[in-house]
Amino acid sequence: MFEPFYEVINNVSKTVLKYEKEQGRPVVGVMPAYFPMELIDAAGGYAVQLWGNNLPLGKVDGYLQTYCCSVARSVLELELVGGAEMVKAYAFTSLCDTLINLREVYKRLFPKPTLEISIPMTQTRAARRSYLKSVIQSVVEGLEKVTRQKIRGDALAEAARIRGRSRELQRGLYKMRRQRPGLIKNKDFYAAIKTGFFLPPIVYNEMLETLHLGLDGLEDRGSKGPKLVISGLVFDPMEIYGILDELGVAVVDDDFANGWRTVSKDELRVGDLVEGVTEFIFNPAPCCCIYNPDNDRHPYLVDKVKDAGADGVLFWYIKFCEPDAFDRPQLMERLREESIPSVTIDVELSMTSFDAIKTRVNAFCEILEG
């Protein structure tokens, strides 16, 4: 049932080249996170999400320090070694300092256009809106230059509908996993979500519709192992899910930036695009990278654990992501107050040895079961 998803994520370049040729749309590489890809679709581009990769890192050392996160380092390595030739432009948000600086590095090193949505740090909705108004206008103009196509209202509405459907289908998988833990192996689940990074959304939706039909008819396998919520930025490396599956862990929910924080977003409201994009970026799930005092991560995470019936939280720390690291001590403290156990694993996207992670997760499971 999941083979077509693995086929995509194990052959990303081949997949992107295939659809680029079929569709005749310029590929726009989308950096983390929350860039409304509906704009790219409506402008006639092909959005491909870049959340890092597992390339061995070499050339990037000349441009980014080793203490930058492996998301930024690996996407830059990809471009430096010529692995992103098909990408004609890059779309950034100002999610963190690393990404803001990375965009400047791209501007200096490569001739490819860059587009940026700067996420405002303001207290009020009105201030956010007024700032984003000019930002969105410049992104729209930039995109239209890249694709040489105007963004029409009907194309934008259609793009919003299709992307909204993708996230709705993904939310269906999340719901199924919460309600029937163990039904979907952890690795298969994230293979299905990750596939959406690389496919045109209409193709992805067809795959998800088929998957839903298949899963609806499956009998519950049941899960005897611990149930965990995972919190982090990026849900790679995928090898770790193999370990969780082997240990009998059922992930029942997550708080990944490229997982639930994105999947939870409703259909982009395009009637008032500025309001729609403002809502899209700031809601509904809180994010360690976005200043939004109205949307506190502490009760949010506690509720998430309780709603999912989880036994504990696994913090999935991509070294050296500062926004994630700055939030974690307070989040762990809050979980402790609620008697919810938690543990942290340190990961890098290019890591090849997982023994230490297996030992750590296994020990945490023994504590939960004991």
| CA–CA separation, 163 and 165 (whole Å) | 5
Angle at which helix 186-195 crosses helix 153-179, to 10 degrees, equals 180
Shortest distance, CB of residue 322 to ligand SF4, whole angstroms? 6
In degrees, to the nearest 5, what angle opens at C-alpha 181 toward C-alphas 178 and 187?
Answer: 100
Residue 99 binding ligand SF4, by CB under 6 A: yes
Q: Which residues contact 272 (CB under 8 A, 6 or more apart)?
A: none
Stretch that binds ligand SF4, among 7-15, 110-118, 258-266, 320-328 (CB under 6 A): 320-328
* Cα torsion angle, 117, 266, 165, 183, sign: positive
Mark residues 50-79: x for contact with ligand SF4 by CB under 6 A, - for none: -------------------x-xx-------
Mark residues 324-343: x for contact with ligand SF4 by CB under 6 A, - for none: x-------------------
67 vs 154, which CB is nearer to ligand SF4? 67
Residue 321 binding ligand SF4, by CB under 6 A: yes
Residue 323 binding ligand SF4, by CB under 6 A: yes
5 vs 106, which CB is nearer to ligand SF4? 106
Shortest distance, CB of residue 355 to ligand SF4, whole angstroms? 24
With CA atoms as reference, report the closest residue to 190 among 160, 221, 230.
Answer: 230
Tell me the site size for ligand SF4, rule CB under 6 A: 16
Stretch that binds ligand SF4, among 122-130, 240-248, 267-275, 315-323 (CB under 6 A): 315-323
Residue from 53, 74, 93, 98 in contact with ligand SF4 (CB under 6 A): 98
Residue 96 binding ligand SF4, by CB under 6 A: yes
| CA–CA separation, 300 and 261 (whole Å) | 12
With CA atoms as reference, report the closest residue to 34 among 271, 263, 275, 317.
Answer: 263
Shortest distance, CB of residue 266 to ligand SF4, whole angstroms? 23
Shortest distance, CB of residue 256 to ligand SF4, whole angstroms? 11
Stretch that binds ligand SF4, among 261-269, 296-304, 317-325, 353-361 (CB under 6 A): 317-325
Q: Where does residue 301 rank: exposed (0-12), middle (13-18), buried (19+ CB within 10 A)?
A: buried
Residue from 318, 331, 332, 349 in contact with ligand SF4 (CB under 6 A): 318
Mark residues 29-48: x for contact with ligand SF4 by CB under 6 A, - for none: ---x----------------
Q: Tell which positions 212-231 bind ligand SF4, by CB under 6 A.
A: none
CB 193 within 8 A of CB 170: yes
Residue from 289, 310, 332, 361 in contact with ligand SF4 (CB under 6 A): 289
Residue from 233, 244, 252, 361 in contact with ligand SF4 (CB under 6 A): 233
Report how far apart, in Å, the C-alpha atoms of 156 and of each of 116, 163, 272, 360 are: 19, 10, 12, 46
CB 240 within 8 A of CB 355: no
Shortest distance, CB of residue 320 to ligand SF4, whole angstroms? 7
CB 73 within 8 A of CB 51: no
| CA–CA separation, 116 and 90 (whole Å) | 8
Q: Tell which positions 161-190 bind ligand SF4, by CB under 6 A.
A: none
How, if at all, do strands 46-49 and 27-30 pair? parallel
227 vs 328, which CB is nearer to ligand SF4? 328
How, if at all, do strands 227-232 and 46-49 pair? unpaired
Residue from 80, 95, 208, 273 in contact with ligand SF4 (CB under 6 A): 95
- Give alpha helix (H) positions in 180-296: 186-195, 201-216, 239-246, 260-263, 273-282
Coil, strand or helix at 316: strand
57 vs 99, which CB is nearer to ligand SF4? 99
- Locate 141 and state its tokens: 């103009």
Task: Please report, as ranges, the residues that interact with ligand SF4 according to CB under 6 A.
Answer: 32, 69, 71-72, 95-96, 98-99, 233-234, 289, 318, 321-324
